[in-house]
Chains A and B, each alone.
Chain A
């Protein structure tokens, strides 16, 4: 039988022990801040300025998951994202300009404006292969990517992100089982943000936790503090090593929290106030900043400088997106078939 494991918050004093040098840690906080500031800007563009429309599922509170997972991957590994994918896109290094332009529906966006927010993380040249807006459907596709790696005798791996809602789809079951029986190099990253739209996770699964599902597929399972990028990184590193050795998939349950509503217009009144407050106190960025400062990896001034730099990039990205053209309608036909 497979074993389950838990990785809690990693004390800053252990960072160097895990081989995380200063520049690596700075890069991680930078990406997390980039995601946070990006989402704040997106909120402003939607709600205050009315410049963008359509669904947008924001990543507030889950930054440590995308950054932690992606930090443990090589550039030729592959991720598969989902409808809440802005964070995956930025963590994978897709330029902010392209991500923003896609939200604006512009020809310069990652999907030329044909995908939108829910597919924004499609950038195969950067190892961000695909993003499905149908909950759970990325999992069987990830099994196929893993199958191709195995078929080609490559040691690449694929990490597929999905939420707690996805674990109840048939896609999760079929895809996970397939990856398990064939020992495919697939890392199943469940972002348990505690809500599937308005459905609380405890009401949606009969087991005590999502990670226990791993036992049913005889694969490794790790429950991890999803608000600590280092903990997520360590869990992913372990899963990557297992996958590269041909020992099959790992289910990583990242325990985190969706700090805002399901979509940009959802005020999420169905959540208890105390719960929200409790999780805001565990904000991944505030905590990681403090950890970096206390461990001497960064100073307050370093972080302010990073923030200012991101703000400038963000302004550029918005201007770029606004100034970019929209694809002519009569060109659309050529994108239907290869």
Chain B
């Protein structure tokens, strides 16, 4: 008998993590817009209202600041709220509560208070949602000490990281990618967690390192496969959490390969990749054989027109081109 490996989607993995934690811990509750009666804008929590009731699956008015504020208040009193902000573009509406309150309360109180809460959100780049419903812009969060920031790229990571988030004692921003919701992968049944601050080497390689964030992990894996055919060995690292960031794994890889490409869906200027690049230069300058390159979005708002949006988006092809140009330098072909 061959044991079949269970594959479920990224969306189902998130749903499973929420469901299992809610079954296990009665202090966990969900709060957000259209998560109950409507089933969630992406149907992640479909059926939860019926199963857990309106106290644990709390539909809110369109009040993002109060969603986060209410999550903070209930977390301060010992509950474990999972707040949902429907689109990452709506984070600025509640940024005050998230950045000034949730993240700083522990520090400002001299360590007396803790805010164990999760904010789930997602970005919908690549779905023709226009400039206000598509953007991925996590780099501000790196300036906010006190937050943890998670960006799962696979169903397996999504479930394990969300469980860790729900058991953490701090505010955790959990950023999902809506283009990934239907991607499938191996996910164990039952309980497991993935520690924060531990990057995952998704593919081993010797010639060049790609640090890829969220959706770009898939694009990077595809690029690495394509380049393998041309005799190139590409390592793909997924940091999985950017706060805390496992810089050691990245630096260790770059010291071996001597080349680093960072692939990310956020705008190139001031993005997460800029921070990673600067830190790698500080720690591994003497090992570098080529400039660090970023495959990121251009510095313009996201265009609606689907073909323009496609051009806007970082992709497998752009990664391949970038790596080709880097290696071209080495071979004197550029």
Contacts and interface: CB of A to CB of B under 8 A. Distances in A.
Contact of B74 (A130, A144, A175): A144
A145 interface: yes
Is chain B's binding surface mostly helix, strand, loop or mixed? mixed
A140 B69 CA distance: 5
A178 B110 contact: no
Residue of B65, B68, B169 with most chain A CB atoms under a 10 A cut-off: B65
A336 B77 contact: no
Interface in B134-149: 145-146, 148
Contacts of B71: 144
B76 A144 contact: yes
Contact of B66 (A110, A119, A123, A178): A178
B101 A147 contact: no
Interface residues of B, number: 43
Interface in A153-183: 158, 170-171, 174-175, 177-178, 181
Given A145-B76, A147-B74, A335-B106, A175 B146 contact: no
A335 B111 contact: yes
Contacts of B145: 336
Interface residues of A, number: 45
Interface in A298-338: 332, 334-338
B96 A141 contact: no
Contact of B111 (A175, A177, A334): A334
Contact of B108 (A115, A151, A171): A115
A178 B81 CA distance: 16
Given A137-B96, A145-B76, A112 B70 contact: no
A144 B69 contact: yes
Interface string B68-89: 1111111111110100000000
A46 interface: no
A158 B77 CA distance: 11
A142 interface: yes
Nearest to A333: B145
A337 B196 CA distance: 13
A122 B108 contact: yes
A109 interface: yes
A254 interface: no
A144 B70 contact: yes
Interface of A: 78, 109-115, 119, 122-124, 129-130, 132, 134, 137, 139-152, 158, 170-171, 174-175, 177-178, 181, 332, 334-338
Given A137-B101, A141-B70, 8 more contacts: A119-B109, A124-B113, A134-B96, A142-B73, A143-B66, A144-B69, A144-B72, A148-B74
